[in-house]
Structure 1
Amino acid sequence: MGFDLEALREAVKTHGNVARVVIAAIKGSSPREVGAAMLVWKNGQSGTIGGGTLEFQAAKAARSQTAHARQTQHALGPDLGQCCGGAVTLLSEIYDLDAVDSLDDTVVARSASNTEMPLAVKRLLAQARGQGLTPEPQLLDGWMIEPVHKPARNLWIWGAGHVGRALVDVLSPLPDLAITWVDTGPERFPETIPAGVTSIPTVKPAELVRHAPRDAEHLVLTYSHTLDLELCNRLLSHDFRFAGLIGSATKWARFRSRLAALGHSPERIARITCPIGDPSLGKHPQMIAVGVAAQVLHPARQNELKKDLSA
């Protein structure tokens, strides 16, 4: 969780002045954690601070807000009739492009009351910027502190067909993923590419493998078995954190044989996961995407990846 600077910048560019409402502090139970935020503009919003009455009233108040920043307290049970029973402090701020451009790109620290920065905040910022320590989102001596969000994982999706599009629809809203989407031509992509997704049309997609970070994760699902095989070949020669190939057991048996003939060892080939997803969900593109997304995001698989990286 962190301050999503790019999402805020894009919202301001698209909608003009935008209010950002963030949970600054919690007492007791709450529908979301400290640092959860939503963006609100005249006719819409994105993100969530937990839904329900709290979010509805906070969005309504943000649309009529005149002050640059406002800090409010809300008792979820007595005031709002929500079952959580705790209390939250919200910080609501209005941003235009100048305000967004003035923000620090490492840690955003500010006070709704424009008080002088306390020593405790100065020390925390010095540690964050000087020692590379990322602070947790928190309200400290009246100052809201949030690290600027940086996607933690690079995901490359090879193929913009039905399954590729469904996967991008499912995964692109997740803030921890920086998605690179590759296919053979611009006509293969939809007219609108989701925010946070970099689309790359290229006649020879396999040539891009060498530009991928070695800790990137890859999902190979192009329209061509020949291209799929070449991508697997290049990935095995390059390195990756995870690589998954869409296909049947029969397809994977043929690929294993061909990859072995190209000089890859059985142990190396076994690093590619095929099939990907959950076959029990069916073959509809959206169902395939749901299964693959669950596999990519499953905590147990992430623990396995961490072990691989530390080995």
Structure 2
Amino acid sequence: MTSAPQDTQGVLVTIVETKGSVPREAGTTMWVETERTTGTIGGGNLEFQAIEQARKLLAKDAQIATTQKYALGPLLEQCCGGSVVLSLEKISRTEGEARRARAASAETRHPLYVFGAGHVGKAVMAAIQPLPFRVVWVDARPHEFPEHVDATVTQDHSSNPIDVISAAESGALFLVLTHSHQLDFEITAAALRRGDARYIGLIGSDTKRARFESRMKKDGVLDDDQLKRLTCPIGVVGIKGKEPEVIAAAVAAQLLQQL
């Protein structure tokens, strides 16, 4: 009978205190093992020194934790000018992953509702999953969702999209990328009618926007002031590519501009 493999040890590096200008905020974590690292506390010589100290800690049998302060000045060849206090703790990989997950869940994340799980929807989700959003991803086609998504993403393939919009928080962001122009129209109109969205983005051209606006005004659904809140085309100005990954990069940058 073989014994179960031991849980690999590593060092959880946490920024516990900051002063002045620093590359990352307090609460940021990084996981260090003998041959690999996960996450970042800001790069540069600060991170190099932290990794070196973490691996020295791993090599010591008796010591399991230490705290170190670094000034981000000439000695580290970093010109931020502030200082950070790091906590280094030797623990199991399982515990380290759990602690990093709890730290991530405590971060401020902004509510974002993404409608559509097609090619562009998947590319956008891949681009924004590392970013500070708490995402509800809506599409009635369950087979379109990837097998694995980040823990900050909730997949919804059973709710009526209009009900999802009605239940959304004030100040939420909405991104409309569905496979149907009619569904795009209905979702966009519902989001605009709320009047409290931080961002409403609709995939499409200037022509699509003009047609939607004309129809909404003709049907009495929305007026000019409400339509001013619509972003269409989506993405930061100047990025011309139409490949899903290019659109996703432009949209991710635009979403960050709203925060």
Which TM-score tier does this pair reach, normalised by the shorter chain? 0.7 to 0.9
Distance 1:29 1:237 in 2: 41
Partner residue of 1:62? Answer: 54
Partner residue of 1:252? Answer: 209
Distance 1:150 1:56 in 2: 25
Which amino acid in the other structure matches residue 160 of structure 1? A
Distance 2:249 2:179 in 1: 19
The structure 2 residue matched to 1:290, chosen from 249, 252, 257, is: 249
Matches within 5 A, 1:4-15: none
Conserved 8 A contact 1:31-1:84? no
Distance 2:156 2:65 in 1: 39
Determine if the alignment matches structure 1 residue 238 to structure 2 residue 191: no
The alpha-carbon distance between structure 1 residues 246 and 205, as it changes in their structure 2 partners (threshold 3 A), is: same
Distance 2:192 2:251 in 1: 21
Instruction: Spell out, residue by residue over 1:132-165, the C-alpha distance to the aligned partner (whole angstroms, 9 max, x if none).
Output: xxxxxxxxxxxxxx9x834341111111122222
Instruction: Spell out, residue by residue over 1:147-195, the C-alpha distance to the aligned partner (whole angstroms, 9 max, x if none).
Output: x834341111111122222222222112x31111111222111111123
Matches within 5 A, 1:124-273: 149-174=106-131, 176-202=132-158, 204-239=160-195, 240-260=197-217, 261-273=219-231
Q: How many equivalent pairs are there?
A: 241
Partner residue of 2:41? Answer: 49
The alpha-carbon distance between structure 1 residues 253 and 18, as it changes in their structure 2 partners (threshold 3 A), is: farther
The alpha-carbon distance between structure 1 residues 93 and 273, as it changes in their structure 2 partners (threshold 3 A), is: same
Conserved 8 A contact 2:45-2:78? no
Please report how far the alpha carbon of residue 280 of structure 1 lies from its aligned counterpart in structure 2 after TM superposition.
3.4
Conserved 8 A contact 1:160-1:188? yes
Instruction: Spell out, residue by residue over 1:22-66, the C-alpha distance to the aligned partner (whole angstroms, 9 max, x if none).
Output: 233467875545443323457644321122444245335436176
Matches within 5 A, 1:83-94: 83-84=77-78, 88-94=84-90
The alpha-carbon distance between structure 1 residues 17 and 233, as it changes in their structure 2 partners (threshold 3 A), is: farther
Instruction: Spell out, residue by residue over 1:192-218, the C-alpha distance to the aligned partner (whole angstroms, 9 max, x if none).
Output: 112311111237433322221122110
TM-score by length of 2: 0.76
Which amino acid in the other structure matches residue 220 of structure 1? V
Instruction: Using CA pairs under 8 Å that are at least 6 residues apart, name the structure with larger relative contact order, 1 or 2.
Output: 2
- Percent identical among aligned pairs is 40
The alpha-carbon distance between structure 1 residues 84 and 206, as it changes in their structure 2 partners (threshold 3 A), is: same
Structure 2 gap segments, 5+ residues each: 1-6
Which amino acid in the other structure matches residue 89 of structure 1? V
Partner residue of 1:123? Answer: none
Secondary structure (helix, strand or coil) at the match of 2:246 reads helix
Distance 1:99 1:246 in 2: 40
